[in-house]
Chains A and B, each alone.
Chain A
């Protein structure tokens, strides 16, 4: 085995090991020089991104990969006792979302934080958070899922409270760690319920053994509630505007990916862990997701409409966007879990799921770009209140162009990426119930109004005297925004390419849990 084969055979582990090792080395490299440290962090995330792409290629070509840490897969009394990563198309899709945002955030941070102290800690936490998020979406073990949630939460809370001299930032960090700890402890309790019954922690093995007992139902409800809270689903979303609003813009960007990793947890639990039994009871968990999705969209967009703080407004917009993801997956689950209809006679269920999964990456990019723009405006003006801003299109031309792209994308205006995924969701939810589709379209229109409000307040209007000296932001910030804007346009212009090659395999991984189980059998 040559060196490249050796590296490739351990690529799944390296996805977490590289940023983790990078995190521990960052404070040491900071001692040498800030510039070298920044290059080091960007390189670490760039290398991780390359490995994500290589593993993605492998997963899409050969199917689910099972990577066992330490040695070959061992069993004791028919129970898997090794720590392992089980990577299917959905896991790697989520890893791609996380690494894109983390990589872009590292470039953006170079300019955004250039005058700040404590950058060594910031970059360490950024890499730790990336390792945590990647671990969450790649692990095939419920206990490790909990461990990676904790790593992500602790790093996220510290990043939210990065500006320790600001009371509100520290308060937001405290709220986030409080909510995250409550959520994580409930997840630990739920997995203990499963472990106590089935003597296993491996997701595939548990999925094979679950019989949907009374305790299984309790565990399922706890999993959904706790992960939905960490995912920012209404009415458990209230930490989102606090956290997103007070964190540095570059950290808000990565927080979007962390939130979506929690939503991944909801889908993994429903479709894989309980995939074999979800159709058994006369209860539609799909409808639960649909209802939560609708409430999330409406509350998010109404609250966004009345905000006057730039970042809080985007945060509420991000909450509304999460509703679309839940809505599409809920529609799919409603059909899949209903044996009277069946997936074969309702292809719109698959379309709904495609719309949702596609919307995960679209939402991450669109909201991420808007947070970067909010950060750019703050960097240039030191203002976040929409009432104090105005006329910035005259001073910040590139930022304004990026904002227009973000505005069109998040509102689902063609030909941007948000349109394609929302179109899939509208069409498929219409088949389930036309009223759901109408509410979804209405929310999108309101979302457009919300972001037009920002455009008018921040970028249009006469040039204000106090902003006479405002200049465009540093190049690293423009490059980061440019990368995301380019991906948005590319995804918008070629949606079929993305859906066929990335989204469809991820949806198939969700609706066919047997492939996940086979992945483990292959490892055995």
Chain B
């Protein structure tokens, strides 16, 4: 049987340690502190007033469905800046099974060279 001590043992990672249960307790305490601090705030929220309406720099609000940012539009900046590597990677993903085997042969060839067999 597993003892309680064994269950809650600190995980030694060689150069450090990790105890998720302690981390969780710390997380809960920090959350409680934040919640208490939040309680000191001024509750001026008034539902149904202009205060709660969406403000888009004075532009009219679109219908909800069209405001959802689609997957293709996410991380466009990252995608643009990495275009050179993405295009290169796309070009090798041909979907052609002969190319899949070609890569296998290439890897095997490189390893043969690496080991000095050819």
| A-to-B contact residues, CB < 8 Å | 174-175, 178-179, 182-183, 214, 217-218, 220-222, 224-226, 228-229, 235-236, 238-239, 242, 281, 283, 288, 299, 302-303, 305-306, 308, 347-348, 350-351, 386-387, 389-391, 414-415, 419-420, 423-424, 427-428, 431, 449, 453-454, 456-457, 461-465, 492-497, 499-500
Cβ of B116 under 8 Å from chain A? yes
B56-70 interface code vs A (CB 8 A; 1 in, 0 out):
000000001101111
Find B13's partner among A183, A225, A302, A424 (CB 8 Å cutoff).
A424
| Cβ-defined contact, B23 with A414, below 8 A | yes
**Complexed CA–CA distance, A415 and B23 (Å):** 8
| Cβ-defined contact, A457 with B70, below 8 A | yes
Majority DSSP secondary structure for residues of B touching A? helix
Find B18's partner among A183, A228, A423 (CB 8 Å cutoff).
A423
Q: Which residues of B contact A391 (CB under 8 A)?
A: 68
**Complexed CA–CA distance, A228 and B72 (Å):** 32
> Nearest chain A CB to B118's CB is how many angstroms away?
10
Q: Answer whether A456 and B69 are a contact pair too, CB < 8 Å, given A225-B108, A306-B86.
A: yes
| Cβ-defined contact, B24 with A453, below 8 A | no
Could you give 28 example pairs across A and B, Cβ below 8 Å?
A: A174-B97, A178-B97, A178-B101, A217-B115, A221-B117, A224-B111, A225-B104, A228-B107, A229-B107, A235-B107, A236-B107, A283-B114, A302-B86, A306-B86, A308-B71, A351-B13, A419-B18, A419-B20, A424-B14, A427-B16, A453-B75, A461-B69, A465-B65, A494-B21, A495-B11, A495-B18, A495-B20, A500-B9
Cβ of B15 under 8 Å from chain A? yes
| Cβ-defined contact, A239 with B89, below 8 A | no
B1-44 interface code vs A (CB 8 A; 1 in, 0 out):
01000111111111110101101100000000000000000000
Q: Other than the known A386-B71, A462-B67, what 16 A-B pairs have Cβ atoms closer than 8 Å? A: A174-B97, A179-B101, A217-B115, A225-B108, A235-B107, A238-B93, A283-B114, A302-B89, A306-B79, A308-B72, A387-B72, A390-B70, A419-B20, A427-B16, A449-B75, A497-B7
A-B contact count (CB 8 A): 155
| Cβ-defined contact, B9 with A496, below 8 A | yes
| Cβ-defined contact, B68 with A462, below 8 A | yes
| B-to-A contact residues, CB < 8 Å | 2, 6-16, 18, 20-21, 23-24, 64-65, 67-72, 74-75, 78-79, 82, 85-86, 89-90, 92-93, 95, 97, 99-101, 103-104, 106-108, 111-112, 114-117
Find A427's partner among B2, B15, B106 (CB 8 Å cutoff).
B15
| Cβ-defined contact, A493 with B2, below 8 A | no
Find B6's partner among A306, A347, A497 (CB 8 Å cutoff).
A497
Q: Answer whether A303 and B103 are a contact pair too, CB < 8 Å, given A214-B117, A222-B108.
A: no
When C-beta atoms are compared, the residue in chain B nearest to A499 turns out to be B11
Q: Answer whether A423 and B106 are a contact pair too, CB < 8 Å, given A306-B79, A387-B70, A493-B21.
A: no
> Nearest chain B CB to A53's CB is how many angstroms away?
14
| Cβ-defined contact, B14 with A427, below 8 A | yes
Q: Which residues of A contact B68 (CB under 8 A)?
A: 390-391, 461-462, 464
Q: Which residues of B contact A456 (CB under 8 A)?
A: 69, 71, 74
Q: Which residues of B contact A218 (CB under 8 A)?
A: 112, 117
Q: Which residues of B contact A415 (CB under 8 A)?
A: 20, 23-24
**Complexed CA–CA distance, A499 and B13 (Å):** 10
Closest 4 CB pairs of A and B: A386-B71, A462-B64, A461-B68, A415-B20
| Cβ-defined contact, B111 with A427, below 8 A | no
Find B100's partner among A179, A226, A308, A493 (CB 8 Å cutoff).
A179
| Cβ-defined contact, A423 with B100, below 8 A | no
Q: Answer whether A305 and B79 are a contact pair too, CB < 8 Å, given A423-B13, A427-B15.
A: yes
